[in-house]
A and B are shown apart, each in its own frame.
Chain A
Amino acid sequence: MPTDRFPSPFDIATPEGAEGWESMYDWYHLFGPERRELDEQRFWFADRLHHPDVLHPYDEIQCECWWQALGAFNTRIFAMPPAYGVDQRILNGRLYVTPVPAPPGDVAARAEEFGKRAGHYYERWDAIYAEWKEKVLARLAELRALRFDPLPDLEPESTVYEHVGTSAGFRMIRDFNHLVTSMYETYQWHFELLNIGYAAYLTFFGMCKSAFPDITDQTISRMVGGLDVELYRPDDELKRLAKEAQRLGVDLGEDTPAAELFALLTKTDNGAEWVADWERTADPWFVVNTDPGHPGGYHVHPTWAEAPDVPLAAVREYVRRLDEGDAIDRPTDEVLRERDRIAGEYRELMAEADRPVFDETLELARKVFVYIEEHVLYIEHWMWAAFWAKSKELSRALAAMGELDEPEDMFFLRRYEVAEAIYDCVVGWSVGSRPRGADYWRPIVETRRRIYDALKAWEPEPALGPPPAEVNEPFTVMLWGITTSTVGEWLKADDEGGKVLRGTGGAPGVVEGPVRVVTHVGELGSVEPGDVLVCPATSPSWAPVFSRIAATVSDVGGIMSHTAIVCREYGMPAVVGTGNAVSTLRTGQRVRVDGGAGTVTLLDEV
């Protein structure tokens, strides 16, 4: 039955067995009675783009990082004229967000400030970005150099002879703080350039739309698309390794597990050469997170380097295609030529008076776009992979010390609780006494594991509260792919029978094919050539699959999402931001994907 609003967050029931879930998350992250009046008037949508799954208590830090940093840079630093930050709440373990508009009366004054502040960055963009890379890489190296070992019975002699002046226990406390604040600081840097970059990109976008009302989002992206960006490097390295395997005559087998295969290969000279190449390449290019949603969003998903069977499957696929005589390289030159041709022709069709500003905004958009694409590798992949790896190292140390029963328990503690656990552990070690340790945490962790499972079974409402008359906040539309019509579809979803799913056209084209629902990168092996991939979202670690499938349908993402960018590059249709394709479609059903109209039509009778 059609309704005009989504349920109030205060009316959402706790799933059975999840009672007490609130204790898993920071109190300030929850809907609470103190701000009920405010929160009930706001429109919240499930942020399945960044956080498609239930959050582990420890992983809440991921949300906090961008909650604060995005907000501060929009609201306080650059004075983004129309937009403050994006507010967050956790409900039943899922993240809901709402963009906060700036007061309309302040927009003009904020614009003046923004002009000065963002203008400073735009003028020096390339130089600032070069410095940015340096500082991120330096911090990455620093994070990776941290060591979380079980505390020693007796400090090494070096503590004395090198006058270190601190204990290993203190260093564990200090280094955990450093780990956390480093991630926070990196997120400051992440938003130092991101939203002003998006603003410049949106400007070019808006200019094209007003001069050419019929122009598609994809066409605009194609004019801007930087192809020579590092984000594509991991996939390029897979292709290179495939060619190397062919050149060296190394047989990668069919489905031998990576570890076994590598051991086997090292017995021959050529095989050893290839494995050595793989190992050199893996750091950093296979430090790529395999999350189904936003990369690095959860501690549970391994990187390619940690799960080499994933990239290995891709290399095998490339070898197979090479053997068949296919060209596997991206047609970069061709795409670049086409990009310049399209931009040139649209420019010619502009009013002459507009051509200079078209040129200038296109140049700026191309410049910022490199960052928009590449920062994902630096922050979402490298920094988060390092953060999770170090967190796991710490969890092993704590478990070894008896502070926890097993390493994974740590992720059922909030980060503040982890700091407490470290102190408990350290002080027990320091005094030579007994921490409360695992005995204290055991019932808490047990309860939370049970709650976590109960929350996983809950299908989150796509949105909460009163929908806005119009969704026109530019970042919401561009990043999350949420538009007035998406929200309307969500409201209608119950009474339509689900024959047609609507999202955003991410890449043009129309194809029909069988659905293959994949929620995790580990399931990519099941994908058959010609399948329509239906997934929460994709990330670069999904790259190998794009050469096999006919189309992609994602739950989340806008035209700038990874899915849309990659599908445009591969020339296959994509519909992104459908909201509920994964829960609606089943593997084997036949669908028609129209990447221009943004629709997915179920062809089988339901």
Chain B
Amino acid sequence: MVGGGVSGPWIVALGDPAADDVGLVGGKGAGLHRLVALGTRVPAGFVVTTAAFAAAVAAPEEIEAPLRALPADAPVAAVEEAAAQARAALTDAVRSAAARGDVPVLDAVRAAYRELGGRAVAGAGPGGQTGAGSGAAGGGTGVGATGHPGVAVRSSAAAEDAADASYAGEHDSYLDVVGPDAVADAVVACWASLYTARAVAYRRGRPAGPMAVVVQRMVAARAAGVFMTLNPANGDRATFVCEAVWGLGEPLVSGTVTPDRFAVNKISGEVVRREIAHKPTRLGSAGTEPVPDAEQDLPCLTDDELAELLRIGRAVETAAGAPQDGEFAVDDDGVHLLQARPETVWSQRPRTVARGRTALEAVLATLTGGDRDAD
């Protein structure tokens, strides 16, 4: 269901205790709140809540009408067409409401964005209220020529990043958005991405939304990447793996470049595998740019950064009680955690190797090859 029935503040800072409510801030927002609460370094930001979405998107039935009219076996082109109509309807409805001034959600977004200017890192600890305007100078990191910070605007649907479905990449994200109006537009575009053909297909008939949107300061990333607190190749939970590239992490996430790959033993901290890729380009705030020759074949993470990332990853995993995957970026301050969520593949599998056996039964299983039968 879209819209209606969600109440609460429109804007919640990531460090705000209210950001613990998945229904209000979506999966990604709540995940980031937990990271902030753990004391990890997370870029400062706020959530445009599902309450804001409900207020701004007044008549969801009308918006969804073209999609509901589709037969179950509608051809792809027809789904694309209906989805485009729904997106246009949503955008129009929000804009006209904003123009009338009776629902000032987008004004609230612009105001929160302006306040964000002063902070680079989300308030550590649950006590931080708004996270915005709290004084600590951001040192200009990610701040555009206008004095406005560049931010990432990402959708945070309530169902996203749950342990059973990642919704990875199904909704839109906008990077390095600068200026209050651009941020407001990006928020609307995120809402509209509920109705991309791929999101509709991914939901397979489940109702959409409501959707929260996370607005976070960009990290001027020297390197960025993804990590997993287990080995995705074999499920080994003592192995921490990470992939990283120079610059922003988006080309890695979208799979358009070959990253450096590292595997670290969680217990010894030893880097047990290190595959350094040739990295001729990187994504910077101005777009794709060449990497200086001397750095193209260098590892983009130092051992210290890997160690810090491992420490962060393990802390998040321990707090969540389950293996995690996540995204990170590295700048001069160190490692920033951009998101973390439960790992969804190996965590679903039974992983006991010898449940309920005595030592002697285990010996017999070893000697007879009975291990292969262990459930």
Contact = CB atoms under 8 A, between A and B. Distances in A.
Contacts of B358: 357, 360
Contact of A206 (B267, B356, B366): B366
B354 A357 contact: yes
Given A119-B360, A200-B359, A357-B359, A215 B352 contact: no
Interface residues of B, number: 35
A122 interface: yes
A508 B358 CA distance: 32
A102 to B, nearest CB: 10
Contacts of A353: 352, 355-356
A214 interface: yes
A92 B369 CA distance: 37
A321 B358 CA distance: 48
Max chain B C-beta neighbours (<10 A), residue from A202, A360, A508: A360
A80 B366 CA distance: 11
Given A82-B369, A206-B366, A214 B236 contact: yes
Contacts of A216: 272
B367 A215 contact: no
Interface stretch (A128-136, A344-352, A425-433, A570-578): A344-352
B374 A210 contact: yes
A14 interface: no
A215 B237 CA distance: 10
A203 B353 contact: no
Given A214-B234, A214-B239, A360-B358, A596 B366 contact: no
Interface string B222-243: 0000000001001111110000
A212 interface: yes
Contacts of B363: 118, 122, 199-200, 203, 361, 364
A524 interface: no
Contacts of B348: none
A419 interface: no
A443 to B, nearest CB: 51
B359 A361 contact: yes
A107 B364 CA distance: 10
Given A213-B235, A364-B359, A596-B272, A111 B354 contact: no
A237 interface: no
A207 B367 CA distance: 12
B308 interface: no
B358 to A, nearest CB: 7
B366 A122 contact: no
A80 B368 CA distance: 9
B263 interface: yes
Contacts of B360: 115, 118-119, 122
B355 A214 contact: no
Nearest to A81: B367
A354 B354 contact: yes
Given A203-B362, A210-B374, A346 B367 contact: no
Among B266, B267, B351, B356: residue with most chain A CB under 10 A: B267
A80 B365 CA distance: 12
B265 interface: yes
Contacts of B368: 81-82, 107-108, 111
Interface string A127-161: 00000000000000000000000000000000000
Nearest to B230: A349
A358 B352 CA distance: 11
A474 B237 CA distance: 25
B315 to A, nearest CB: 14
Interface in A480-539: 508
Contacts of A219: 265, 267-268
Contacts of A30: none
B272 A351 contact: no
B265 A214 contact: yes
Contacts of B355: 351, 353-354, 357
Contacts of A345: 238, 266-267
Contacts of A199: 363, 366-367
Nearest to A83: B367
B105 to A, nearest CB: 45
Nearest to A349: B237
- Which residue, B231, B235, B363, B369, has most C-beta atoms of chain A within 10 A? B363
Interface in A168-203: 199-200, 202-203
Contact of B352 (A115, A354, A361): A354
Interface residues of A, number: 43
A96 interface: no
B311 interface: no
Given A80-B367, A82-B367, A357 B237 contact: no
B367 A212 contact: no
Contacts of B367: 80-82, 111, 114, 199, 202-203, 474
A355 to B, nearest CB: 10
A214 B366 contact: no
A342 interface: yes
Contact of A361 (B238, B265, B362): B362
Nearest to A112: B364
Interface in A355-391: 357-358, 360-361, 363-364
Contacts of B272: 214, 216, 596
A211 B350 CA distance: 11
B107 interface: no
A346 B236 CA distance: 11
B371 interface: yes
B357 interface: yes
Contacts of A203: 359, 362-363, 365-367
Interface in B261-288: 263, 265-268, 270, 272
Contacts of A81: 364, 367-368
A353 B371 CA distance: 15
Interface centre among A118, A203, A346 (most CB of B within 10 A): A203
A214 B231 contact: yes
A213 B354 contact: no
Contacts of B236: 212-215
A215 B270 CA distance: 12
B359 A342 contact: no
Interface string A236-274: 000000000000000000000000000000000000000
Nearest to B360: A119
A261 to B, nearest CB: 44
Contacts of B352: 351, 353-354
Contacts of B356: 353, 357
A213 B365 CA distance: 18
Contacts of A215: 236, 238
Interface of A: 80-82, 107-108, 111, 114-115, 118-119, 122, 199-200, 202-203, 206-207, 210-216, 219, 341-342, 345-346, 349-351, 353-354, 357-358, 360-361, 363-364, 474, 508, 596
Interface of B: 231, 234-239, 263, 265-268, 270, 272, 351-369, 371, 374
Given A114-B367, A345-B267, 12 more contacts: A115-B361, A115-B364, A122-B359, A199-B366, A202-B366, A210-B371, A211-B353, A216-B272, A353-B355, A354-B355, A357-B356, A508-B270
